[in-house]
Each structure stands twice: as structure tokens, then as C-alpha cells.
Chain A
Amino acid sequence: MKKPVYIFSDGELHRKDNTLYFEGESGRKFIPVENTSEIMIFGEVSLNKRFLEFISQSEIILHFFNHYGYYVGSFYPREHLNSGYMILKQAENYIDEKKRLYIAQKFVEGAYRNIRQVLKYYQNRGKNLDDIIYAIERLGDLIAGTSNVNELMAIEGNIREYYYKSFDEILGNCDFEFDARSRRPPKNSLNVLISFGNSLMYTTVLSEIYKTHLDPRIGYLHSTNFRRFTLNLDVSEIFKPIIVDRVIFTVVGKNIIKKDDFDEDAEGLLLKDKGKMAFIEEYENKLKTTINHRSLGNSVSYRRLIRLELYKLEKHLMGEEEYNPFVAQW
């Protein structure tokens, strides 16, 4: 099984013949090409064309994150799986507004249902979430009736607003209070964790898209301008509540990340490397967690589940089977 490699230190990435290594303060570290799916770069790293050429050839994606830990961009090697047929189908479903709306609604529906599932779980554990769940369910009822993507986006935004309010009740930790959702860079620790986790999610989905025939530039919910990756943002919506948010509940609930794991700088708050690493460990564990898959008849990891979701989308685009998003059972 190929695994992501995370780089936090500063240094240089090199190619030596058919091997890769990272040269940092603590010396050389070899990167096993066969076992690496992607390289996640958090430190200040320099690299050259020779390196990029080899990375391309080895079909390894590079994901870059800034000082605050937010996604900056990816080096996405030229597509190795190319299906003109699939790209045509993808575009056809984008251009036709009705078809596009249908898929976008399904992504929002998936996000909504998984959010609801997370909330129900905590409601069953005695958290006072009745009002929030009620409000979210009313909004959820409106998804299928939306007549355009903007309207749909607005409903999604409202659901999320209610949802994030529930975090204070779920966490019950005054060091991690929600206030308002702030971004770029976030102003409070909970927002820092949300943004960081979402950044990881976007890259995970993008890496899975790379292993399919889908073009990540054609999204349905997030509008496409062909310059940015958007399909990964779409599909991430479905998985954020059950992967990222649950990781947040774990790291805060179990005191794995505490108040002093954050630093303040001129522009905002940032999570120290130690905290990022702790978060990533939980996140990777979550992706490896397996659940039973009914139609496959065996258990699959969350990471694999993301791939299956993409296969389902492919089948929808091919006109085989209507796409229905994955909804967690608990």
C-alpha cells in the first residue's frame, strides 16, 4: 500500500539516479518511490526540474501547504489514466445546467446527511442539540427543490453555520470556542483546526481523483474555471463531517491538542508543527479505519471509500447508475 510522506523541516528535495531523498538539517532521508503516493510539503523546501521530472514519471503528487498549514496548491503530474470518453461525459454533465444541478445537489445532500449523522451521534450521548438538528433538517428538506447552484450553495452555507454552532456543545471546552467561522488566517483555535483538517481532506480527495479518470478541474458544486481544482472540493463536502470533524472532536476531546499548541503571529493564529503532526496522525488513522461495505461484501478503509465514491460518480456520468452519496451509518 502506497503512503503519503509528510515533510515538516526545511531543506531540499533531490533526485539521485532512480531514488529520491530529502536533505535537511538532520541529514538525508530517502523517499521510497514505490511506496509513496504523495508528498505533503509543510516546510520551506526547494526542488528542481530533475526532481519534478522523476516525480511525474513515478506518478507522485506534491501538495504544498503554507506557513499556517493551509493548502497552497499541488504539482499534479500529467494524467497517466486518460479517457477522452470520461472527460467528455464530465464536461457534458457540467454544461447541461440541469445535470450539473443534480450532481451538485447530491454532494450537498451527502454533506447534509453526514452532518446530521454526526449530530445524532452526540445527541444520543446526551448533548443538547435538538434545536440545531431541527433547524438543519428543515434546511436539508430544501436541497432537492433548489433551482440553481447559487441557491444550493446558500442552503449549504446555512447548514454549516448551524452545524459549527454545535461544536461548542459537543466539545464543551472553553479553549476551543467557535465564535464565528474565520479564515485566511483563522482567528481562533477551533477555526485553525477546521481549516487545517479541510486542507488535508482536499489533498486526499485530489490524490484519489488522480487514480481515476476524472478531471479534477471540472467540479459541479464549486464552479469550474479550469484553472483550479474543484472536483476535490465537491467530493470533500461529503467526507468532511465524518473524517475531519471527527478527528477534531478526538484531538480536542482527548487533549491531544491543547491551547499551548498554538502560536500567535501578526496575521493570526497558527498551529505549531507538533500539533500539526498530532492532528495528521489521527487523520491518517481515520483514513485507515475500515468499515463494512455492503455491496462489495468486504471491509474498506475510509480512503478507499473516497475512491469508491469517485467510481460511483463515474458511473453516473456514464449514464449507468444514478449517483447517491455515501452516508455514514453512525
Chain B
Amino acid sequence: MYEEVTGSLMQSYNICKRQVWLMAHQIIPDQEHPYIEMGRLIDDMSYDRDRKKINFENVVIDLVRNDNGNLLVGEVKKSSKAIGSARLQLLFYLYKLKQNGIEAKGQLFFPEERKKIDVRLTSESEAEVVSAINEINDIINMDKAPAFEKIPYCKNCGYKEFCLS
């Protein structure tokens, strides 16, 4: 099964492998759940270059065109707790942009902590993204969804009722 890795799959990958598999198989149990909305917005964003700012839940992604014609992709997060996943997600966008011929720099903002972190697509971090993409593909190609294991995120997950029913 071939499935294009999207922003929402990358985000799921950081949360739960089971979610990756379910999403890729178009099993989207609860349409009314805010999480699903979020995923859609992220997907929209990847291709909509006119939009400068996207708001959802506690995340804001800013696309800022700077003076040199270079793109700065900034991502604002509430807290640096999940910095690992925020970084990987941003790297994924940078990677996607690069594939479309756009070189961009990334920056994570944590306004409440007055923190700013540069994220660059180096050969090392690019390898990280590629390996994440590969792993996502491996998960998708599994015969069955990875077994359900309760994690703290389940509470807020759109799949909650599906997994727990």
C-alpha cells in the first residue's frame, strides 16, 4: 500500500503508531473530534502558500517571507514539553518545502517561556526526517494495526472511542 506521508501522519507518528496506521487506512472514527480538524488544517497548510498564518488548538504556524526572499517557517508552541515532536514536525515541513524547491529556515517559538529555537534542515536532521518517513511507511504496510496500548494521549484522541470500545 502506498500512502503519501502527510503532516498529519507525521504528527500522529509522534503521538502513537497505532494512530498512524488507522489514519493511513482511512479509518477516521470520530469526525466531530477537534483533533481531526487539526489534521485537516495541517494538510491544507502544506499546499496553501497564500495563507500566512494558521491557527488551531494551541498551535500556530506562521509562514513569513523575509527580505531575502527566503522563507522562514515559524511554529509557535505553548510549551517546550513536547519539543522533540514539534521539532520533527517542523523539520518535516522544511523537508517538504525543499522537495518543492523551496529552501526555508525554521524556528520554534515558545512565547510563554521567552524561548526561540532555530531548526535547520542539515544533512543530519534530514536523515532523521527520512528515517521517520520510512518508519511511517513500514507501519502503514503492516498487515494489522499496531495493538492498542493505553497512553496518556488517548484521553484527547479522536480514536479514543474506537480503541476503547
Residues of A that sit less than 8 Å from B by CB: 81-86, 211-213, 295-297, 304, 307-309, 311-312, 314-315, 318-320
Question: B164: which of A83, A296, A314, A320 is its contact (CB, 8 Å)?
Answer: A296
Picked from A85, A308, A312, A320, the residue with its CB within 8 Å of the CB of B26 is A85
Residues of chain B with a CB closer than 8 A to A312's CB? 165
User: Is B31 in the interface zone, CB < 8 Å from A?
Assistant: yes
Which residues of B from 7 to 43 have beta carbons under 8 Å from A?
25-29, 31
Task: Assess A213 versus B145: contact at CB under 8 Å? Given A296-B161, A296-B165, A308-B161.
Answer: no
Query: In the complex, how many angstroms separate the beta carbon of B23 from the nearest chain A beta carbon?
Result: 11
Known: A295-B165, A296-B164. A311 touches B145 (CB 8 A): no
Q: Known contacts A318-B144, A320-B144, A320-B145; decide if A213 and B164 are in contact (CB<8 Å).
A: no
User: Of all chain B residues, which has the CB nearest A313?
Assistant: B165
Number of A-B contacts (CB under 8 A): 47
Query: Which of B26, B31, B147, B162 contacts A311 (CB under 8 A)?
Result: B162
Cβ contact of B27, chosen from A213, A307, A319, cutoff 8 A = A213
Q: Is A86 in contact with B161, judged by CB distance below 8 angstroms?
A: no
Question: In the complex, given contacts A212-B29, A213-B27, what are 13 additional A-B residue pairs having Cβ atoms less than 8 angstroms apart?
Answer: A81-B26, A82-B26, A83-B25, A83-B26, A85-B26, A85-B27, A86-B26, A213-B26, A312-B165, A314-B162, A318-B145, A319-B144, A320-B145
Q: How far is the CB of B162 from chain A (nearest CB, A)?
A: 5
Q: When the two chains form the complex, which single residue of A84, A311, A320 contacts B161, counting CB atoms closer than 8 Å? A: A311
* B144 adjacent to A83 (CB under 8 Å): no
Which interface class (under 10, 10 to 19, 20 to 34, 35 or more) fits B?
10 to 19
In this complex, what residue of A is CB-closest to B147?
A320
Chain B residues with CB under 8 Å of A319's CB are 144
Q: How far is the CA of A39 from the CA of B76 in the complex (A)?
A: 43
Whole-angstrom distance between the alpha carbons of A307 and B165 in the complex? 9
Point out the residues of chain A lying under 8 angstroms from B145, CB to CB: 318, 320
* CA distance in complex: A257, B103 (Å): 72
Contact call B165/A308, Cβ cutoff below 8 A: yes
Complex Cα gap A212–B27 (Å): 8
Residues on A with beta carbons closer than 8 Å to the beta carbon of B25: 83, 85-86
CA A150 to CA B76, docked complex, whole Å: 61
- Chain A residues with CB under 8 Å of B164's CB are 295-297
Contact with A along B27-62 (1 / 0, CB 8 A): 111010000000000000000000000000000000
Whether A81 contacts B28 by the Cβ 8 Å rule is yes
On whether the beta carbons of B144 and A86 are closer than 8 Å, the reply is no
- Residues on the A chain within 8 Å of B144, using CB: 318-320
Chain B: CB-nearest residue to A211: B31
In the bound complex, residues from chain B placing their C-beta under 8 Å from that of A83 are: 25-27
Contact A86 B27 (CB under 8 A): yes
